[in-house]
């Protein structure tokens, strides 16, 4: 299950959102919205808009992230503050995704925004390559 830093947000979720969160937390790799939908259908009818709304709510509460390059979702594994960026290392061979934060990258991107009068709303960094196991 998610680490304790996010447990406070779980109590505000409805049952469907909690199910989606549990599915993301138990997944080994990122899941598309339709993969989440398929897992939910095992326990009753659910529609794509319901899944998308649940995923958006989880993202809004900092409980999940959307990986833009994969069009897939993962449960948040690290505590983030509103101003922190989320970063992901994605293995192109096995699909492993590691979430991390790096204050140096975040600071550099913030400075770039300031220097170019750009108001940054959200920063997600995705690094693609091979994980340690696949690189051997």
Q: Which residues are annotated as a binding site for Zn(2+)?
A: 91, 94, 131, 134
What H or E segment, with its residue span, contains residue 72?
strand 72-75
Q: Please measure the distance between the N-terminal and C-terminal CA atoms of the chain and give it in whole angstroms.
A: 30
Rounded Cα distance, 37 and 52, in Å: 9
Bridge-based pairing of strands 86-91 and 124-129 is parallel
Q: Which residues sit in the known binding site?
A: 80, 91, 94, 131, 134
Q: Which residues sit in the known binding site for Fe cation?
A: 80
Residues 6+ apart with CB under 8 A from 37: 46, 48, 51
């Amino acid at each position: 299950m998610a680490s304790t830093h996010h447990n406070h947000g779980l109590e505000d979720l409805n049952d469907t959102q909690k199910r989606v969160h549990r599915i993301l937390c138990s997944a080994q790799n990122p899941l598309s919205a339709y993969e989440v939908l398929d897992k939910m259908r095992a326990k009753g009818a659910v529609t794509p808009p319901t899944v998308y709304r649940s995923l958006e709510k989880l993202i809004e509460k900092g409980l999940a992230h959307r990986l833009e390059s994969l069009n897939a979702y993962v449960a948040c594994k690290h505590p983030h503050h509103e101003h922190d960026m989320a970063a992901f290392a994605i293995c192109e061979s096995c699909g492993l995704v590691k979430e991390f934060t790096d204050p140096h990258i975040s600071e550099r991107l913030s400075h770039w925004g300031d220097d170019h009068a750009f108001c940054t709303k959200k920063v997600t960094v995705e690094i693609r390559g091979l994980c340690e196991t696949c690189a051997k």
